[in-house]
Amino acid sequence: MGNFKGHALPGSMFLMVGLWWAGKSSFWYAARRKKSAGLLTSRAAQRRLEVIEGVTILSFSVIGMLAEQFAADGPQLHLYDYAEHQWDHLMNWQHATMYLFFGLAGGVSVAVHTTGSAPLALDRMLLGVAFFTEGFLFLYHLHGRAMLDIHIHQLLLYAIFGGAATAFLEVFHRGNVLLELLRASFCLLQGSWFWQIAFVLYPPSGVAEWDLKDHSNMMFITTCYCWHFAFSLLTVTVVYCTACWVVHSKLKRTPSMEMGLLKTTDKEQESEDEI
Amino acid sequence: MGNFKGHALPGSMFLMVGLWWAGKSSFWYAARRKKSAGLLTSRAAQRRLEVIEGVTILSFSVIGMLAEQFAADGPQLHLYDYAEHQWDHLMNWQHATMYLFFGLAGGVSVAVHTTGSAPLALDRMLLGVAFFTEGFLFLYHLHGRAMLDIHIHQLLLYAIFGGAATAFLEVFHRGNVLLELLRASFCLLQGSWFWQIAFVLYPPSGVAEWDLKDHSNMMFITTCYCWHFAFSLLTVTVVYCTACWVVHSKLKRTPSMEMGLLKTTDKEQESEDEI
Amino acid sequence: MGNFKGHALPGSMFLMVGLWWAGKSSFWYAARRKKSAGLLTSRAAQRRLEVIEGVTILSFSVIGMLAEQFAADGPQLHLYDYAEHQWDHLMNWQHATMYLFFGLAGGVSVAVHTTGSAPLALDRMLLGVAFFTEGFLFLYHLHGRAMLDIHIHQLLLYAIFGGAATAFLEVFHRGNVLLELLRASFCLLQGSWFWQIAFVLYPPSGVAEWDLKDHSNMMFITTCYCWHFAFSLLTVTVVYCTACWVVHSKLKRTPSMEMGLLKTTDKEQESEDEI
Amino acid sequence: MGNFKGHALPGSMFLMVGLWWAGKSSFWYAARRKKSAGLLTSRAAQRRLEVIEGVTILSFSVIGMLAEQFAADGPQLHLYDYAEHQWDHLMNWQHATMYLFFGLAGGVSVAVHTTGSAPLALDRMLLGVAFFTEGFLFLYHLHGRAMLDIHIHQLLLYAIFGGAATAFLEVFHRGNVLLELLRASFCLLQGSWFWQIAFVLYPPSGVAEWDLKDHSNMMFITTCYCWHFAFSLLTVTVVYCTACWVVHSKLKRTPSMEMGLLKTTDKEQESEDEI
């Protein structure tokens, strides 16, 4: 899918997922701190939300896989072109493989949160595996391209492997809001960077094309990547502040009487051991 | 052992070990959760099983070492060929060295679980060392081969070092079922990839040979590696579900009276600290 | 800012920050151990100090950004030179980006310690991100320079990424005085190395210039880097001993009566589990 | 010190240190398990032993530094040869720098264990720093040598950085006997490998010289490195078993009456959480 749409589409998807994760984590963390545990923050509600998230990821992955296979220029499940003695649409197969792992992560997340017969951390481990596989395929994806093309995709790898590392760390530090927000930031970074790639490599008509061999372009792109990261951090901050404000203003309207019924043995999960 | 059999043999062994590990971990975890602790899940039974596993690994390693040395084309313990002033069958010596470390891991595991005079985590540390050494020898094993040959062996390194890293993590997080299943997945991946290497580099007669310098072959092999990983993850999932189902159906037949005798102070080992 | 001043300025800043961190951590740790908790070591006083530190970092970052943009040779917020069809003062934009992330870290630190509505560890995570971004930009900053120029900047990366790694570890091990002092050491190392770079690449007039292609110069610079590290470790040691001595001598003058009022449930944060 | 003695000397030193560490850790661990805590395993005795170890390391480092500087071919504290406009005996300065960091680690260890005014883990952190610096200097030490010379020194780096990583891990997992024994193994490996380097690069007269450009030599050396590792692991095992046996046989002679006086709340430090 070496075209504008092929980068803008995953970009939009990752942006939405990143926003969703930032919102979910912030809201739950704020609710937990304020102990305004209402309907939304109960364990059952959380579980239901996780299931919905898993189903959504699973459906989008299946749709993505089908689109890659049966779209106009897809391989339609043919792997080898016997007539021309070459592999058939390897790019599409690679993208379908990426979707496959995200689908696996989504499916397992649904299974974990509905049946409860597997350790909870499994959903994060498979999310980490999905991110890692995406990065792994991109890593061996860049042979023989122009310098800037390679560099701009390599920068993407930082966001992808950053997301994978964060998800793996969450296996051992589940519920740590900092890791969850960091993961959301990396996801947003990945999404906005896909858009940047689309604009750099396939500029809309009317805009001057980029010189893919100019070194100063490489230096600018590197700086630009940092701006995207700053932007994603700021977005997560804004989402977090909004969630805090919503929970806080909602709390005021809750009668204090109800508060006595809440358990106070809530163990705070983040490592907040100040001296 | 640059032939079909030389890759198919270790492949089969790693596949069996991976299946065994997946089954063992799944069954113990399921039994622990259901508290249906019967004969099989008692500490003594576990210890006996670990000893059997260790003895098996040790015996296969010794057989492997002897086979490498005394098979038809083996060096028969001669290290240096003084007639021709060159090293004698270095490949066989390298393979024997790999077996040596797995034998060490097996032997230490037996010692740890029979005498109990060493920390339990030692078996995992030496397993990690054995995997690391295997990867280390493969890393410096590939000088001057064709592009696809190098690439296909490098992919193998991901599975090997992944297994080593997981085993080392288990030293500090012993009993974490996720790590155990991940280790089983890496082991299955390694096994099935050995078979893939055998079919790619030494295709059975009647099948067209692979062009070892074609870049699209490299891209396909990379994608194919991900499919192997997905396959190994699915296999582990199937094994885990079977173990859960077996334990669950067995539990129903157990009279509930017995349950009261079980200790309830079972600390669950996995990091399942949901909020 | 490829000149003497451009390296001496950040060098001085990092030296001051390193000294400040070493002093702060040492003093708090010594006070905590001696339980001579007076006005300075109360939680409120600590919080106030953190806020002042955050405000200082934030202000210097804003000043730095403005200086990079509006100094004599700055881009004055112009990013692209349409006349000459090239990027405008990319170096200044890169340096401004570095300041941006330190400003972000400072701002977030202020927000965390004034409002208390975010997890405390957030300040260390963003400090880690700021160091990482600085190193990341330096990493892609060195294209086409002379051998010694590249090597001397690469050595700088060890100090920068060391600082980033230490800050990230502090997210999970907050209050560990060893990590705090290690971070201070890396910061001092970075500062003194910036001065070394200034003297090597832009020697003051009257001093012989360095041969940037001589290999023995490279070997000397590597050794010299280790001396800088030893020097920074010694500086931190001296600061630590001074802090201990100050706290100790102050404690003697405190009447012992007061001591009974201090809580004894102080959990010691460092991992001091000797056998 | 590019000669036989220059590699055999540090080799012998590391071998002795490795044996000492293996013995110390094994003995303490065995005594702790058997609860035969007599004079040797009391906290005061341990502290005294650590101080002696620190003083020994410090003295050897000072001697090493003086030897490097004032031996027949040493620089005698001259850093720059103004007559010939080149650096003076850079190799000796590098080796002296390595000794400097080990001396620092020894000195700090003494200070930590005598005054007790610094966190205990500091001794391991500086040990890790000393190993890391040694590896760091070797890393940039190999420019322009023959292939086998570079390879054989690169293999050494695995042992050095392995030791550094283990020491750093001990900062957070102090008293974990597995890490202590692993550190001892890496130290033994380093020592025996130094001897191997001496024999390969500077063979004693009468022995055929090695062809430094032959690839099969490289393959053999890699395999040989694994044998050294297996040998060091076996040595540590033998030392550990001896220590266990000594403690066990000593325990039998202790009257059982005394045992009741021992505290049973001894927390075992290793992560031995079997299910």
Secondary structure, 3-state, D91-156: HHHHHHHHHHHHHHHHHHHHHHHHHCCCCCCHHHHHHHHHHHHHHHHHHCCCCCCCHHHHHHHHHH
Q: How far apart are CA A63 and CA C154, in angstroms?
A: 46
The predicted pLDDT at position D266 comes to: 37
Residue B98 three-state SS? helix
Contact residues, chain A, for C122 at CB < 8 Å: 178
The predicted pLDDT at position B170 comes to: 95
Contact residues, chain D, for B101 at CB < 8 Å: 226, 230
What is chain A's alpha carbon radius of gyration, rounded to the nearest angstrom?
Answer: 21
Please give the share of chain A, as a percent, with pLDDT higher than 70: 88
Mean pLDDT of A38-67: 86
The predicted pLDDT at position A36 comes to: 55
Show the tokens assigned to B175: 């009993």
Mutation pick from A26, A178, A210, A269 vs chain C, by most beta carbons of C within 10 Å, is A178
Residue C207 has pLDDT above 90, yes or no: no
Q: How far apart are CA D46 and CA D28, in angstroms?
A: 9
Specify the DSSP class assigned to residue B146: -
pLDDT band at A260 (very low <50, low <70, confident <90, very high): very low
CB atoms A137 and B226 under 8 Å: yes
- Centroid of chain to Cα D133: 13
Contacting partners of chain D (3+ CB pairs under 8 A): B, C
The predicted pLDDT at position D259 comes to: 43
Mean pLDDT of D124-129: 95
pLDDT band at C34 (very low <50, low <70, confident <90, very high): confident
Residue D221 has pLDDT above 80, yes or no: yes
Residues from B in contact with A at Cβ < 8 Å: 29-30, 33, 158, 173, 177-178, 182, 215-220, 222-223, 226-227, 229-230, 233, 237, 240, 244, 270-275
> What average pLDDT is seen over chain D?
84
Q: How far apart are CA D219 and CA B136, in angstroms?
A: 12
Q: Which residues of A81-95 are buried (b: 16+ CB within 10 A; e: fewer)?
A: eeeeeebbbbbbbbb
Please give the share of chain B, as a percent, with pLDDT higher than 90: 51
Mean pLDDT of B235-246: 93
CB atoms D178 and B140 under 8 Å: no
- B46-60, C31-45, C103-117, D70-84, range with the lowest pLDDT: C31-45
Pick A101's closest partner by Cβ from B230, B244, B275: B230
In chain A, which residue's Cα lies nearest the Cα of B271?
A172
Strands D86-87 and D80-81: antiparallel
Residue B257 has pLDDT above 70, yes or no: no
Q: How far apart are CA C223 and CA D141, in angstroms?
A: 10
Residue B266, C-beta contacts closer than 8 angstroms, at least 6 positions apart? B32, B35
Under a CB-based contact definition with an 8 Å cutoff, are residues D8 and D195 in contact? yes
CB atoms B275 and A32 under 8 Å: yes
The predicted pLDDT at position A257 comes to: 43
* Sign of the dihedral through C-alpha C87, C92, C98, C101: negative
Contact residues, chain C, for A33 at CB < 8 Å: 117
Contact residues, chain B, for A30 at CB < 8 Å: none
Q: How far apart are CA D244 and CA D249, in angstroms?
A: 9
- B195-204, B234-243, C28-37, D24-33, range with the lowest pLDDT: C28-37
pLDDT band at B75 (very low <50, low <70, confident <90, very high): confident
- Flag whether C touches B (3+ CB pairs, 8 A cutoff): no
Pick C220's closest partner by Cβ from D87, D119, D172: D87
Mean pLDDT of A247-268: 52
Contact residues, chain D, for C158 at CB < 8 Å: 136
Mean pLDDT of A34-38: 61
The predicted pLDDT at position C166 comes to: 96
pLDDT band at A35 (very low <50, low <70, confident <90, very high): low
Residue C200 has pLDDT above 60, yes or no: yes
Here the ipTM equals 0.86
Q: Which residues of A152-174 are buried (b: 16+ CB within 10 A; e: fewer)?
A: bbebbbbbbbbbbbbbbbbbbbb
Q: Single out the residue of B159, B198, B151, B136 nearest to residue B18, CA to CA.
A: B159
Counted across chains A and C, CB pairs separated by less than 8 A come out at: 81
- Centroid of chain to Cα B176: 17
The predicted pLDDT at position D71 comes to: 79
Under a CB-based contact definition with an 8 Å cutoff, are residues B36 and B247 in contact? yes
> What average pLDDT is seen over chain B?
84
Residue B81 φ/ψ, nearest 5 degrees: -90, 100
Mean pLDDT of C130-149: 89
Residues from D in contact with C at Cβ < 8 Å: 28, 32, 43, 46, 86-87, 90, 93-94, 97, 100-101, 104, 108, 117-122, 125-126, 129, 133, 136-137, 140-141, 143-144, 171-175, 267, 269
Judging by beta carbons within 10 Å of its beta carbon (0-12, 13-18, 19+), is residue B39 exposed, middle or buried?
exposed
Residue D208, C-beta contacts closer than 8 angstroms, at least 6 positions apart? none
Judging by beta carbons within 10 Å of its beta carbon (0-12, 13-18, 19+), is residue A45 exposed, middle or buried?
middle
Contact residues, chain D, for B32 at CB < 8 Å: 275
> What average pLDDT is seen over chain A?
84
The predicted pLDDT at position B67 comes to: 87
Contacting partners of chain C (3+ CB pairs under 8 A): A, D
Between B269 and B184, the higher pLDDT residue:
B184
Pick A275's closest partner by Cβ from C32, C122, C137: C32
The predicted pLDDT at position D59 comes to: 94
Residue A264 has pLDDT above 80, yes or no: no
Pick C274's closest partner by Cβ from D122, D143, D174: D174
Residue B228 has pLDDT above 50, yes or no: yes
Pick D174's closest partner by Cβ from C177, C215, C273: C273
Between D272 and B243, the higher pLDDT residue:
B243
> What average pLDDT is seen over chain C?
84
For A80, the enclosing helix (H) or strand (E) is strand A80-81
The predicted pLDDT at position D12 comes to: 93
Contact residues, chain D, for C33 at CB < 8 Å: 117
Contact residues, chain D, for C227 at CB < 8 Å: 97
Q: How far apart are CA D51 and CA A94, in angstroms?
A: 60
Q: What angle do CA D131, D136, D138 make, to 5 degrees?
A: 100
* Sign of the dihedral through C-alpha B104, B105, B108, B113: negative
Pick A220's closest partner by Cβ from C28, C87, C118: C87
For B80, the enclosing helix (H) or strand (E) is strand B80-81
Q: How far apart are CA D59 and CA D63, in angstroms?
A: 6
Pick C28's closest partner by Cβ from A30, A177, A275: A275
Q: How far apart are CA A151 and CA A147, in angstroms?
A: 6
Q: One-letter amino acid identity for A21?
A: W
CB atoms A218 and C140 under 8 Å: yes
pLDDT band at A268 (very low <50, low <70, confident <90, very high): very low
Specify the DSSP class assigned to residue C223: H
Residue D85 has pLDDT above 90, yes or no: no
The predicted pLDDT at position B264 comes to: 36
Residue A54 has pLDDT above 90, yes or no: yes
pLDDT band at D33 (very low <50, low <70, confident <90, very high): confident
Between D1 and B159, the higher pLDDT residue:
B159
- Any idea which residue has 């991940």 for tokens? B182
The predicted pLDDT at position B68 comes to: 85
Counted across chains B and D, CB pairs separated by less than 8 A come out at: 81
Q: How far apart are CA A205 and CA B30, in angstroms?
A: 59
For B212, the enclosing helix (H) or strand (E) is none
Contact residues, chain A, for B218 at CB < 8 Å: 140, 143
CB atoms B140 and D218 under 8 Å: yes
Between C207 and D95, the higher pLDDT residue:
D95
Q: How far is A121 from chain C (nearest CA, A)?
A: 18
Residue B212 has pLDDT above 90, yes or no: no
Residue C29 has pLDDT above 60, yes or no: yes
CB atoms D178 and B269 under 8 Å: no
Q: What angle do CA D253, D257, D262 make, to 5 degrees?
A: 100
Q: What count of other Cβ atoms lies within 10 Å of the Cβ of residue B214?
A: 14
Q: Single out the residue of D65, D206, B271, A214 nearest to residue C227, CA to CA.
A: D65
pLDDT band at C133 (very low <50, low <70, confident <90, very high): very high
Q: How far is D269 from chain B (nearest CA, A)?
A: 10
CB atoms D120 and C177 under 8 Å: no
Mean pLDDT of C113-142: 91
Mean pLDDT of C223-231: 95
Between D223 and D5, the higher pLDDT residue:
D223
CB atoms C93 and A216 under 8 Å: no
The predicted pLDDT at position B272 comes to: 34
Contact residues, chain B, for A46 at CB < 8 Å: 275
Three-class SS of chain D: CCCHHHHHHHHHHHHHHHHHHHHHHHHHHHHHHHCCCCCCCCHHHHHHHHHHHHHHHHHHHHHHHHHHHHCCCCCCCCCEECCCCEECCHHHHHHHHHHHHHHHHHHHHHHHHHHCCCCCCHHHHHHHHHHHHHHHHHHCCCCCCCHHHHHHHHHHHHHHHHHHHHHHHHHHCCCCHHHHHHHHHHHHHHHHHHHHHHHHHCCCCCCCCCCCCCHHHHHHHHHHHHHHHHHHHHHHHHHHHHHHHHHHHHHHHCCHHHHCCCCCCCCCCCCCCCC
Q: A236-251: per-residue pLDDT in tens? A: 999 999 998 888 887 6
- A172-181, C78-87, D189-198, range with the lowest pLDDT: C78-87
